[in-house]
Structure 1
């Protein structure tokens, strides 16, 4: 719909120029390219409407904002569900080959011997009962647990030296008790040699806190280094059957840091 809003005449010596203001109340797609007639006095003029030039700058800014928003969203989703995605991928696209790395065990379990009876019971329960029930029986991993798998009469140094080289991961259980840390410090030098070997050889370490450790400054430097490099996982179970489910948050974190299984169990991640 077109509406004339005003008409102006500009006199010149030989000609009169007329100016007419036109208001378009609505423009449809079919109006573009269609000739219109404008009458001014006894004269008539023709004109056509052309589609507006796209604002590429606005489109570019909008596209960049959409891309940035999508990237932030995907990054957030990956960060929140990274462990679940990794475990699902391992389960869905697992390799059917065998590991030719010369290793016999998936992880070596090392744990302290605290002097407090209650603490000692919890540590032993986690290391000798719960870890095997979940990682070995449910997830199919093979563990070497110091205090369970060595032969009687073997020297500690020989056990550590021979078996640490046959493992793909090292699981260390710690508790927030200075006595336990002092015990680690004062144990035979083979313990310190393990940490030095790990730092040099680059073996991945899974540090499990039986209780939340707020201050690592009282620990050996090797433990502090492992914490800084690999982080830690805080035990969140309560030594009941509920804690033995491999699909809980704690065990998912442990499984995420364990090596991928070539022949995973039939249960899903």
Structure 2
């Protein structure tokens, strides 16, 4: 049972989440690489059944683990670019293309060395391009799914410009405390301590304009202010937040772990 949240302390805005730089995310990425390496060792695709079990395990585990280490480093850098961090599908595509290009060459060279053929045959490089991109994309998608975290907004540092979102509300609500924003079809229901208002806007755009208020997206249809959470509970397999106005907000299962680590649950 969570206790009422204290007022948010001022802090500078930062990228939406720490994503791949989180030690847990790095550990998950390596674990996924090892599991994928074991599976490919057993299935022995792309002609790798021609070599023994141990060399085959070294081949797949070596490629996938080393590729994961390099890709995680690149993802940490890319995550600091806010435009990419706020667009996970684009981030995944950029990462897959960026890392499949050099690893096509790595796969070509390592395969030539392991199988003792075609090591210097440049004509064989395109053969490795599609399989390498496919594996890279699948690994990236698995890591992003395993590391899904809610889009967050942060309390404004002293002297920073106020959040832009209140300007979209009618004058009577602009000074009110925003408790939550709920997506309803193409509209947003804005919950404040002085009433509610329906506006035409996408939730993703609203979250961007709420920067300056500490909060997080807790469901695909809900953003909640941290200071508005009065209580949290679990009912069977789902979590529910109770706001200071008595509203109850469902928490997406994909976000439960991240919100627990953030101290919301």
TM-score (norm. length: structure 2): 0.22
TM-score (norm. length: structure 1): 0.22
